[in-house]
Amino acid sequence: MNDLFLIYKNLTRKKMRLFLTSFAIFIAFLIFGAVSALKATLDSGIEMSADNRLVVVHKTNFTVPLPFAYVNKIKNIEGVKDVTHSNWFGGYYQEPSRQVTTFAVDPKSFFKVYDEIIIPDEQKQRWFKNQGGLLVGERLAKVYGWKVGDRVPISSNIFSHKDGGHTWEFVVDGIFSAREVQSDTGYIIFHYKYFIETRTFGGDTIGWLVLTTQSSSLNESVAKAIDEKFANSQAETETSTEKAFNKAFMKQLGNIGLIIFGVVFMAFFTILIVVGNTMVLAIRERTGEIAVLKTLGFTSARLFTMILTESLFLSLIGGISGLAVSYLVLKGVSEHLARFLPNMVLTSEIVWQALAYMLALGLITGIIPAINAYRLNIVAAFNRGM
């Protein structure tokens, strides 16, 4: 008799129990896939930071502006390769509730520092020549249906326009993507020069600087040189690696990793109890059958393997289906959250981790029933059933 057929018949003998147990595992891995992808998305700014990229902000707070003159002064520091700068615009589209991450940047230096951005050369050159032009990340462009050539009004909840009001009119000159699928493309950039010429206050200042060093081994010395250079000025600086800056920024949102671990742990612990109890009861119900199989010549090792395989199949059925639905959910949710978060994807690392958890769940919940079946004494089993 085929062992797989027996495993199948044992799994499906009580279809409602199979459904409820599989559904519990399904929910656990649906949660695992979703929260793991969310954590990976929130950490993507840290994980994908360039090793040789530094961020320079005002020592008081990164929201305090810096003098524009710092750009050229930092360029002349030994070990610095390229320097660019950005200003937070506080943008929104049509309504204040429709926030759009918007930066005023220096066009050519921006692409030298952020070389992971991909954009057709003709679109880039068009934008370089048009001060009223806008570059839009592909995820944000999908949200609003923007195309190259569209006229787009972007308002600011911080700055006002010299012509009156808080709205700037732009033309979409290009749509950019990135090399990595998890990289954030949910923002827009426009010319810094156009920004300072049309805003009513702020003068010749910048929000922060981003630079690349000639080698990541020079990061510490370059950061120290920058901060020492402006140590006695009215605008002292704090320089850190992009990875450290993004990590510090994420800490302001709380310990996301601990929260996610708590959610996943509680879900798995609950499922472990449910599935473990189900397997123990299922094997206990089959005590007489197991004794008959041993009488017919089934070895203890063979029965041990069959019961453990049954537990693994149960875990994989619920786990893989939960992970598959998680993928579909993330695909839909990611599009709706493009204005706020980078692309949420179920990475291969998450999938392999989930598969490892499924196997662990199957082994842990099946090992005790399998051992009990292995040790079952035929005479004792028949006496128990009488």
Q: What is the pLDDT of residues 210-241, one digit of tens each?
A: 999 999 899 999 999 999 999 988 899 999 98
pLDDT of residue 329: 85
Which residues in the chain come in under a pLDDT of 50?
386
Residue 27 in any domain: the answer is: yes
| Together in a domain, 139 and 22 | no
Burial of 14 (0-12, 13-18, 19+ CB in 10 A): middle
Domain count, the chain: 2
| pTM summary value | 0.69
Is the same domain home to 70 and 19?
no
Same domain (yes/no): 227, 290: no
Evaluate whether 189 touches 173 at the Cβ level (below 8 Å): no
Q: Please tell me whether residues 170 and 315 are part of one structural domain.
A: no
The secondary element (H helix, E strand) that includes residue 109 is helix 107-113
Task: Indicate if the alpha-carbon torsion angle 186, 187, 188, 191 is positive or negative.
Answer: negative
Point out the domain boundary residue: 179, 205, 235.
Answer: 235
State the pLDDT at residue 257: 61
Tell which of 180, 202, 235 closes a domain: 235
Comparing CA positions, the residue from 117, 100, 101, 256 lying closest to residue 183 is 117
Instruction: With CA atoms as reference, report the closest residue to 44 among 174, 179, 136, 135.
Output: 179
Q: Residue 13 CA to chain centroid, in angstroms?
A: 41
Expressed as residue numbers, the domain containing 20 is 3-46+254-385
pLDDT at 102: 94
Tell me, yes or no, whether 241 lies in a domain. Answer: no
Report the C-alpha dihedral over residues 279, 283, 286, 291, rounded to 10 degrees.
Answer: 160
Regarding whether 360 and 283 lie in a shared domain, the answer is: yes
pLDDT tens string 74-111:
999 999 999 999 999 989 998 988 889 899 999 989 99
> In this structure, are 98 and 187 located in the same domain?
yes
CA distance 253 to 348: 26
119 neighbors 135 (Cβ within 8 angstroms):
yes
Do residue 178 and residue 36 come from a single domain?
no
In a domain, 247, yes or no: no
The rounded distance, in Å, linking the Cα atoms of 113 and 18 is: 55
Whether 118 and 220 share a structural domain: yes
- Residues 164 and 197 occupy one common structural domain: yes
Both 197 and 318 in one domain: the answer is: no
**Residues 367, 301: one domain?**
yes
Q: What is the pLDDT of residue 248?
A: 67
Residues 90 and 209 in one domain: yes
- CA dist list (Å): 28 to 19, 264, 334: 14, 8, 20
Q: How far are the Cα atoms of 141, 205, 211, 232 from residue 240, in angstroms, in the given order?
A: 32, 20, 10, 19
